[in-house]
Structure 1
Amino acid sequence: MFDTVNITLEEKQRLLGQYEGHFLDFKDRRIAPGKVARAVSAFCNADGGDLYIGVSESSAGGTFTWDGFPDPEDANQLVYVLEEVSPFGTDIDGEFLSVDGGGGFVLHVNSRKSRVIRKIPDGKIYKRLGAQNIPVVSEEQVLALRRQKGIESFETETLPIDLNVVTNSEAIIEYLLTAVPVGEPETYLHKQHLTVAGKPIVAAALLFADEPQACLPKRCGIKIYRYSSEEQSRDRLVEDPATIEGPLYKQIYDAVDRTVEIVAAAAFLDEDGLRSVRYPHEALHEIITNAVLHRDYSITDDVHVRIFENRIEIQSPGRLPGHITVENILDERLSRNPYLVRHLNRFPNPPNKDVGEGLNTAFESMKKLNLKSPEISETDNAVLVVVRHESLASPAQQVVDFLKSNDSIRNEQARKMTGVDSESKMKKIFESLIKAKEIEHKPGTAGRGYAYQICRK
């Protein structure tokens, strides 16, 4: 059923030298099938991971030994159990590893983050947390996992507020007049399943309440910070953070406009005087829209936009939903909040014009300005997108391009332009360019004013 892959002794030792953790687990080949099922279901219900069956641990702990199956057929019982957790090829794949010199066959199971909740054969649910497989038992824990998977969304929760908050608002009246010219607000919201038993759901308040922040305190605003350095600290805040509120359509556009305004005014002082940076408006728009649309509204936190000298960070509450990972986010599609996505797309000039293409558009717009692609990462409870003001060109190429239209360049200038973080690293780049006869020392400069010019020879 599985391929057998022969690995080297060096690769074997490198594997055995790793530590068990959130993405890695070793199991003895004599382990009970139920425990193997727990491990794989836990990986699938978290962030995925690698399970190696046929690796024993010393009694003292921490030291692992290759102790594989004498024959791959000996692992059949475990394979059958794993197939019950998730059919091979869906969320998990397997292979046998062998090493020259013997030691048996180790079954390697690669588990991916699943779009559904994976249970073990007896119906129990586990989730990987650190190096442990934690049971998911309570209704609250199961609901939280379902929301993380995108199976359920907080946007459909009913709010204990008066219906007229969303039926008698400027936001809903403007929407129905310009976007969906139909009957009464209450009738429209009912037909769109945005109300339940005469009460609005979360999505209705976010879209159509004039002040959704009053309905969902500390859950649906955007905070924008400007720092006077490359580091985040309170004493580096240039001014009080800007708070952007209101229904989501207005909030997105207001947040983008305010961010662009702050960036445009954020000239940074160095020894050459004031300098400014430029980010593509399209990239900021798409990333902020994405943060608002796909955040987890069950988490009591706002979207945070932090503006530094050399980058902008956009932090959205909640981890990536379902099977979406940092690696596949540009290729896969899964909306945590489909009601929000659908209805915002109906507004005139919708912020999410190309459904599912927002981050791809942001990446493309950065390339058009010859800037590095945004960096996407997950923290414990948020998704962070970092937009750096760094060129796609190598530091050496940036120096040469700069000198083609400028008289000279100094080490400090070059570091600020290229993002190289140390004077010595920049000096080595200059030396390599001198050796290649691309640049030379500018006569008459020395000390702190030591500079380089394009090679005149």
Structure 2
Amino acid sequence: MYPIYEINREQAEKIINVEENYLNDVKAKEIKPSKLSETVSAFSNAGGGDIYIGISENGTDKQRAWEGFQDVEEANDIAQILFQAHSFGNHLIFEFLKCDDFSGYVLHITVKKVKEIVRSTKGEVFIRVNAGKVKLDTDEKVKRLEFDKGIVTFEDEWVNVTIDKVENSLSVINFLVNVIPNAEPLTYLNNQELIKDGQCKVSGVLLFCDEPAIYLPKRCSVKIMRYRTKDDDIGREFLDGVPLTIEGDAYNVIYNAVDKTIEIIETIQKLGSDGLETITYPHETLHEIITNAILHRDYSVIADIQIRIFDNRIEVESPGKLPGHVTRENILDTQSARNPTIVRLINKFPNPPNQDVGEGLNTAFSAMEALRLKPPVIHEKESSVLVVIPHESLASPEELVMDFLKTHVEITNRLARDITGIKSENTMKNVFLRLKDRGLIEPIPGRRGAASAWQKTSC
């Protein structure tokens, strides 16, 4: 028996009018369970979502109405057939919603993203795209989904290599110094099943080849770009110099990418309460996010990792979607290694970049909070994961304005926007007006238009 929850009219109307999109769908109670299983497959194989069954829609004007099941037993077939399609059932949560102002019970199904591929009752595979579903009708498309979900990993694919380029590399020598018990490179690589008959697994190439880009072009480098702007809509006119390319084995790429990013950041200045100040990001945050991007990227995607450095933020974009059951919401509380061999072996290097395995992103977020900066923001895009590290204080705009006026006679709207990160002139004006209403600041008499400014109240 699934739980029944009483909701009020306002809540019921929100469900009736919920926007159908990537995360939400509504269905009439007459829907065939086999057809519903396609929608469940689509949600589970994408980011998860919510389905409300018992909401009808007029075909002419698309008007919706609450027309629920007469009793909960009427929906039994739905649960039974969905569980037959995927017997684990770990991707589904059922509950019924009842409202005194409407007739019948609406069945609410929460569909979770899971690592396994979820199929329909016919054995077909779907994914959610915008407000609809798309069937994956070729083996290649299903294989792509397996990579996305981390069911299979590209790190186990075989690459034709010259074995001595791996066996005699500086990378493998540096690695084996730290391995207990010590072993000869060829013996160790064989024991770890990383090489065979003139081939090496992708994980071996990435870890132990000094120049992996020879064998895996456009998959193992990091591009670093500096943009002299705060804008979101950027063009090449804002690009400062030629983008840097960081190459080499994964261990050195991590450390070199972090060091170069910090070097560029230390040249950036912003206006603070004491004048121009060098921008400071926690080194732990940069290290953990860049390490995470390199270790957990999808190496089957032909694209380099990009680090974009702006005046007010850093963006780290890593090819591939979030693996397995990981979502933006649970990423700090769960683990799913897309490349478990790389993660395991790189942890055996001297001073491993993933020293605190599984705690990296938590460390990154905590370090930002310790410096009173806003936390990183994670976006899952169509074929990549973007982490935005803002350089914005947790202090309110009002606090930042008053801190500035402790050491300065006046502040203009433009200066205040630079300090607070607020983009809109009108939004900044409203901050001034709130401070004025509290008797803390006043406009400087006789200053109008672009010359207008504010000062602390004279009383």
TM-score of the two chains, using structure 1 as the length reference: 0.93
Give unmatched runs, 5+ long, in structure 2.
none
SS in 1 for 2:160: coil
What is the CA distance between 1:20 and its match in structure 2? Answer: 2.7
- C-alpha root-mean-square deviation of aligned residues, in Å? 2.3
SS in 2 for 1:265: coil
**414-423 or 77-86, larger mean C-alpha shift:** 77-86
**295-304 or 43-52, larger mean C-alpha shift:** 43-52
What is the CA distance between 1:414 and its match in structure 2? Answer: 1.4
What is the CA distance between 1:422 and its match in structure 2? Answer: 1.9
Give the whole-Å Cα distance in 2 for the aligned partners of 1:428 and 1:65: 42
Aligned to 1:71: 71
Of 382, 385, 388, the match for 1:386: 388
SS in 1 for 2:344: helix
Of 337, 340, 343, the match for 1:341: 343
Aligned to 2:279: 277
Aligned to 1:324: 326
SS in 1 for 2:362: helix
Aligned to 1:224: 224
Aligned to 2:114: 114
The aligned amino acid for 1:243 is T
1:11 aligns with 2:1: no
Give the whole-Å Cα distance in 2 for the aligned partners of 1:447 and 1:40: 58
Matches within 5 A, 1:15-54: 15-54=15-54
SS in 2 for 1:246: coil
**181-190 or 239-248, larger mean C-alpha shift:** 181-190
Aligned to 1:186: 186
Give the whole-Å Cα distance in 2 for the aligned partners of 1:54 and 1:327: 28
Maintained 8 Å contact 1:88/1:94: no
SS in 1 for 2:159: coil
Residues 98 and 244 from structure 1, CA distance in 2 versus in 1: closer, same or farther, beyond 3 angstroms? same
The CA deviation string for residues 167-221 of structure 1, in whole angstroms up to 9 with x for no partner, is 1211112211244562221110121222245521001000111101111001111
The aligned amino acid for 1:133 is K
**220-229 or 88-97, larger mean C-alpha shift:** 88-97
Residues 196 and 23 from structure 1, CA distance in 2 versus in 1: closer, same or farther, beyond 3 angstroms? farther
Maintained 8 Å contact 1:155/1:202: yes
Identity of aligned residues (%): 46
Residues 413 and 429 from structure 1, CA distance in 2 versus in 1: closer, same or farther, beyond 3 angstroms? same
**116-125 or 243-252, larger mean C-alpha shift:** 116-125
Give the whole-Å Cα distance in 1 for the aligned partners of 2:449 and 2:367: 40
Give the whole-Å Cα distance in 2 for the aligned partners of 1:295 and 1:25: 30
What is the CA distance between 1:166 and its match in structure 2? Answer: 1.1
The aligned amino acid for 1:401 is D
The CA deviation string for residues 415-457 of structure 1, in whole angstroms up to 9 with x for no partner, is 1111112222222212222222333446786664544344453
Residues 206 and 10 from structure 1, CA distance in 2 versus in 1: closer, same or farther, beyond 3 angstroms? same
Number of residues of Structure 1 aligned to a counterpart in Structure 2: 456
Give the whole-Å Cα distance in 1 for the aligned partners of 2:128 and 2:310: 35
What is the CA distance between 1:336 and its match in structure 2? Answer: 0.5
1:314 aligns with 2:316: yes
Aligned to 1:159: 159
| Structure 1 residue runs of 4 or more that deviate by more than 6 Å after TM superposition | 443-446
Residues 400 and 26 from structure 1, CA distance in 2 versus in 1: closer, same or farther, beyond 3 angstroms? same
The aligned amino acid for 1:258 is K
Give the whole-Å Cα distance in 2 for the aligned partners of 1:151 and 1:197: 26
Give unmatched runs, 5+ long, in structure 1.
none
Aligned to 1:304: 306
What is the CA distance between 1:407 and its match in structure 2? Answer: 4.0
Maintained 8 Å contact 1:71/1:104: yes
TM-score of the two chains, using structure 2 as the length reference: 0.93
The aligned amino acid for 1:202 is V
Residues 196 and 106 from structure 1, CA distance in 2 versus in 1: closer, same or farther, beyond 3 angstroms? farther
Maintained 8 Å contact 2:160/2:198: no
Residues 430 and 21 from structure 1, CA distance in 2 versus in 1: closer, same or farther, beyond 3 angstroms? closer
Give the whole-Å Cα distance in 2 for the aligned partners of 1:323 and 1:214: 33
